[in-house]
Chain A
Amino acid sequence: MQSAFEELKESRKTLLSRFSSGNTWGSFQDDHTEIFDQYFRKTLQESRIGQELFKKAHPFALVAVGGYGRKELCVHSDVDIVVLFGPKVPLLAKEFVDEIFFPLWDLGLDLGYAVRSIKDCLSLCKDDYQVLSSMLDERFICGDSPVYLSLIDKLLRSFTTRKAVSFARWLEDQNRIRTDIFGDSSYLLEPNLKEGIGGLRDYHHILWLSKSLFGLRTPRDLEYTGKLSHNEFQDMKDQLAFIWLVRNHLHELSGRRNDRLNLEYQEDIAHRLGFKNQRNVLAVELFMGRLHAFMGSIKSLHHSFVNAHLRNGNRAKKTPPAEEVPKHLQLHHGEISFHSATAILANPFLLMGIFAASARNECPLSLEAKRLVREFLYLVDEGFRESDEAIRGFLDIINGKDTFETLNQMFETGFLDAFIPEFARIKDRVEFDTYHIFPVGRHLLETMRYLMGSGARKEILLLDIAYEISHPERLYLAGMLHDIGKTGKDHARKGVNIARKILKRFNYDKEGIEDILFLVRHHLLLAETATRRDLNDEKVIIQCARVIGDVERLKMLYLLTYADSSATSPRVWNEWTANLVQELFFKVLHVLEKGELASADASQKTKTKKSALFRYMADMDQHDLEHFFEVMSPRYILNTSPKRMADHLSMLQSVGQEWEDPESKAFLIEAREDIAQSCWEITFLAKDRPGLFSDMAGAMALNNINVLSADIYTWHDGTALDVFRVTGPLDAIHPQETWDRLKRDLKNAFSDRSSLALRLKKKAAPSILSSMRAPKRAPNVIVDNDSSDFFTLIEVFSDDRLGLLYIITHALSTLGLDIRIAKIATKGDQIADVFYVRDLEGQKLEDKSQIEEIREALLHQLSQPSAFTTK
């Protein structure tokens, strides 16, 4: 005959291979437990020492405790057992223990045993609730039953009811410790199946409480004694079976007792359990969705069970005045409940009403109330969803004090799904990456938590902004709905349509809907722009500002970005990202506050100009045209007519190949007469470099060309485009000669063949007329660092005279400044010029002494008597 040990080895091997091949999944723990029970029964029969102990009147019993006691042995679970003696443990016990337990160790099993007398047991239980909890799971295996019964009798007498409350408190502490160490498994990316909140331990707590509080013996008693409803018990059983199955697979795959469902095993297990990839959803995401939902239910059941049966003094909150609790609801022991179930049937809106009252009074629903909500969810039908009363109640909750907790309860009871069916489709979706730590539904709730709590955060800026929002409700609804389209790719766009349907059902006002849909559509804009685009590029900021359109929306979007990112994972919203998003926020804010570049009008103008330009340039390659429009500066587009833009593009094309070289010295000049204004317009195109503008101004001064106004643009690809309006040349009969001379001078200057500065100096030799041309009014220079995040603005006011523009621009470029944009204007005999400058490293000027130096240098140049003799 086979020895007990051989038999254990063999049947365990058979069981495990049956499991691997997909059999006995449902009954694995029972079968596994039975194999060990068999082993102990058989060894005891075969044991010589065992018989001797009985003969010497030391009767004993083998008692399974812990998981083994509960018949929950998974693939690599440890096996805990107590060898229980009556009054005293005899010396011989040690030999017996060696005989029956050593072989198990040799098998590599995780075995824990204790040899105790009944008295030992009781005193240990008294001192250490860990031992007590494990003893509460006791199960008789074999041996002397009177010894066992005597222990049970004493255990029941000394611990159930009498110590129940202090034991329950201890369990509560354990819960807190579990939360700290293992987190909430109902939404963690790598949940701990056993110890995490929502894990098997929650169920164990229910069992232990039912044993110590009510003296229940088996799990089934929970239903028989009405502690759980039939449905609750059945659901719990199914959910636990699923978790155990996952745990068995996890143990098998990791080859050890491992309860943390690491990412690396998730796909494998999903596959083993028969989950299949579906359109848009991976098998593993379906699997994790199911697991999280089940663990969420277990968590909520445990929570409700504790609340229902362990009400204690310190929970009693202030009792709010009765009028705050609507009819048919009652506030008792700090929990809200229905007067009766029939009240709900008579008025289904109580289902929303109870949550609204919960939010208003900051009190949770009682276990019974939650049960009733679940029971009557079928009353939440189309009529309910569209009714004013329900919608008003929902909006009250959204605006309420305790919104997050209330939403959480609505989520856990399934009420939220019933009221917003679109929510049910996405709530359990899990994204299989390390970036999103919550399933979508939980993520939406977490987003709400951060939105509501932005007041309590230490980030003062967010707090300030939150106070300024005129319609916080819109922001909250956007927070609830921003990921509602998460059924696949491009979820922000999809979400807009779904959100619109929901908001229409709510009969929400049109302006509000527009704001909310905007937020849903663009909820990723700030985060993406901040981390993936160049924030020192004004065009990026302007485009962003145009999408956003107004300051109120920008503020809401900023808060939503913060809440959404924080709720995704603490790794997503850290100081690194926060700094970038904050920088973007301020830059966009400044552009929006100044208005001209990002107003709705500007965006509209840009659009119409683009299509007009495309019509003019119909011959040009569409792709090239798109490229050019992309590199044009926003100011250029706003200030230039499509016809002129087309002219400029034609000019650009005529430069040809040479233009490809960024160092190219090629340039183009075109002069046309504006008869109506009796002046000339000179267009100048070149590759930008510091000092270019000054050269141009110099060459004009040299040829006695007086500049009336000028617009200087720098495009994105380094093209400098200057448009000057000048008075006619001195020789009005042969104007072309002047332009040709200008061209020649510039060409020489660019190729360093002649020095503009030198020639100008010669030209400016003092004349007897000079003293008569002393400036009449004192010139003024203003340096403005506030108007733009990208440039320092230098404004110059002075009497006009020939060559003045050269003097100013030359001084600026000698001071190491790069002129990116300029607006030159002449009014009568006064000039008012604005130069947008940066230093050669592309930064604004922030050094006070440098700014002062520039001011003084400019003023000095301006107060010199006129240098040029011809005017």
Chain B
Amino acid sequence: MTLENTHQWLLKEGEGIKVQERDYAKTGYHLEAAVSEEKILPAAHYFHDQKFFLECLTCVDYTNKPEDPHFIITYQFNRWEAVERVLLKLKVPKQINEAPSIASIIPAANWYEREVFDMYGVRFSGHPKLERLLLPLQSKIHPLLKSYTGTGDSDVRNSLELIESDQEVFDFNVPEEMKTSRKEYYLNLGPQHPSTHGVLRVLLHLDGEKIISGEPIIGYSHRAHEKMAEVHNYLQFWPNTGRLDYVGAMSYNFCYALAVEKAMGIVPSPRVEYIRVITTELNRISSHLLWLGTYLLDLGAFTPFFYAFDEREKTLDLLELCTGERLTYDYFRFGGVLNDVPQEMIDGVKKFIPEFRKRLRDYRTLITENIIFIKRTKGIGVLTLDAARDYGVTGPSLRACGIGYDLRRAEPYSIYQEFDFEIPTEREGDAYARYLVRMAEMEQSLRILEQAIARIPAGEYQSGKIPKAVPACEIYQTVESARGQFGIYLVSDGTQIPYRLKLRTPSFSNLNALGPMAKGHFVSDAVSILGSIDIVVPEIDR
């Protein structure tokens, strides 16, 4: 119904908006609209008011077209209640190179716009802080431009030399009144810190131990996966998918497989679908276990870490049997998987399920009902629904606010609609609720595993020969990773190499909400909140 309304509104706006319906099954979009520069702010207002969230904002470079060099900026909106994906496209001619910023309306756009500026050099007028996001502040390159050819370029070396010579990279302007303040100061939490889970820097503005504001600063482990996608063929990009979120890599494999299969029209065999679900759910459990261990470590409890890693070891052993890898899985292939699942693994999973159920009960007595743990997490880092929508938060962090938005149900992919499982939600939106959601999710993953193991059919684990080239298309594919919504926006021009492959990673959006969540709490709580949103830094920086 809202989709109809949206369509009507876009039509009504008339001049400046050209709307067309898209085939959802084939592309992943319901509506697409070409929007003119004047209409982008009203449109952002409309989608914000209609309770859409900004799923993704990115740019596609067409400046290599001699007759009409331009950028296309894409804004992608979606809703939690029902999947209604709307793609807005803004054409920015190369000589203008500037677009209006919607960051003041939708805070999630802040980082996305900075990323586009960083990668393409497109400026956003009215942006509160248009600085580089992933690359060092003084670098002079815009790597995702088609004209930028990559390695060996003197620009790269120059910007590296700049970083070494210029110590100001770590300086920031401390306001005059702060230099003499006896109470307020800045504290850099990271990039090297035991509790930032990777090279993340959080700039905390403190009054004593109280947080006035917190700003995450990212880019320390940026590896240009999106540029790599544009210079490798589709098959060569596989290892990269396992290196985004190395903790829950299987979901990222899954998404890439689904995206390219959707573009090529390949339907994998039922056995392949089951193998994919089994490995992904096992990996989800191992990812949640790693989070559990490190989160309790952040709170100062050492022992749960070892218990969680003991169980995680078992899941890794099982996954190793079929993938041959323990961390950065590179297991899925187009239309199939790399190896068939051995009987040993099926038996192993059968044995693992009851053992792990028992262990989950142990966690309940050790952690869930521990009074110190409850005191440290209850009421800490409350995420309101509005903030979650504004920042595009997805995954367990969102479900802890009471929204049962899980893509395995909301937008069923593969064979997830065949399984009987629940989407655990909590209402409070605090760190404790996020903890409870993840613990319950492990339980649900076990249920899916149980059913999948019992029903796995015989059959081929790979489909036949796959063409190397992907037909020209523009699609969006999304899966529920352990951290939230992972999406791939793929633009193909019919060759063997993706024209544009945008990776919409969940932690990128989730981390944005850290500032509002940490406000008013103590330094100790900042660590607790950061742990509770479960980020993996290489996935944010890509």
A and B part of one assembly: no
Q: Which residues of A contact B (CB under 8 A)?
A: none
